[in-house]
Homo-oligomer: A and B are copies of this chain.
Amino acid sequence: MQIAIVLYDSFTALDAVGPYETLGRLPGAQTVFVAEHTGPVRADTGNLALMADRTLAEVPNPDIVVVPGGPGQIPQMDNEALLGWLRAADRSSTWTTSVCTGSLLLAAAGLLDGRRATSHWLALDLLKRYGAEPTGERVVFDGKYVTAAGVSSGIDMGLTLLGRIAGDERAQAVQLMTEYDPQPPYDAGSPQKAPAHLVEEFRTTVTLR
């Protein structure tokens, strides 16, 4: 089973690495990082690059597609090279997945029309404009489409999908080895829980399109 994780300039690193570190432990699976061109692809901070080991063209039929988000998603929404690859890969994929604003790319490719889906909390309205039916859940399954909320939710998505494919025990083993027993020092991880002025500040300053 081949898992393709898509990279593009200014993606958010944890969006990609969360599913890689969990779903990527699927027995017998081979994870491959893909981008338009091989070589280093810089994440949104500019301080980290992940290597794309294969071009999109070299990986036409992955079993699982994982699309991370990040501010770099904005120009990608008009990038037919990527959108066309997503459409084509989706035709033969078993699972098509995203983390964070990666779902906007799936939606822009026309793959989430009328489907229940999620995204970064700041992107839910935009996701609706692109034809999906946003939900407030952290991980959303609609048929073979699995979308996750912002950044860190890719870990929950990866474990959930791993359990669905390989069984609970395998997913629990990965949870144990990654010691995923989260103890956040604050309870500010969603717009419902965070201080209201922070939510408002991001709502007024962040543009996703």
Contact = CB atoms under 8 A, between A and B. Distances in A.
By CB atoms of chain B within 10 A, which of A53, A152, A193 has the most? A152
Contacts of A32: 47
A175 B202 CA distance: 12
Question: 4 closest A-B pairs (Cβ-Cβ)?
Answer: A150-B179, A181-B189, A172-B188, A182-B182
Contact of A121 (B17, B179, B202): B179
Interface stretch (A59-67, A76-84, A85-93, A163-171): A163-171
Contacts of A181: 138, 149, 152-153, 184, 189-190, 193
A127 B45 CA distance: 33
Given A156-B182, A184-B156, A177 B151 contact: yes
Contacts of A171: 185-186
A72 interface: no
B169 A195 contact: yes
A1 interface: no
Contacts of A169: 195, 198
Q: Give chain A's interface secondary structure class.
A: mixed
A152 B22 CA distance: 10
Contacts of A49: 50-51, 53
B30 A21 contact: no
A99 to B, nearest CB: 10
B199 A185 contact: no
A114 interface: no
Nearest to A21: B14
A183 interface: yes
Contacts of A138: 181, 183
A17 to B, nearest CB: 4
A20 interface: yes
A108 to B, nearest CB: 21
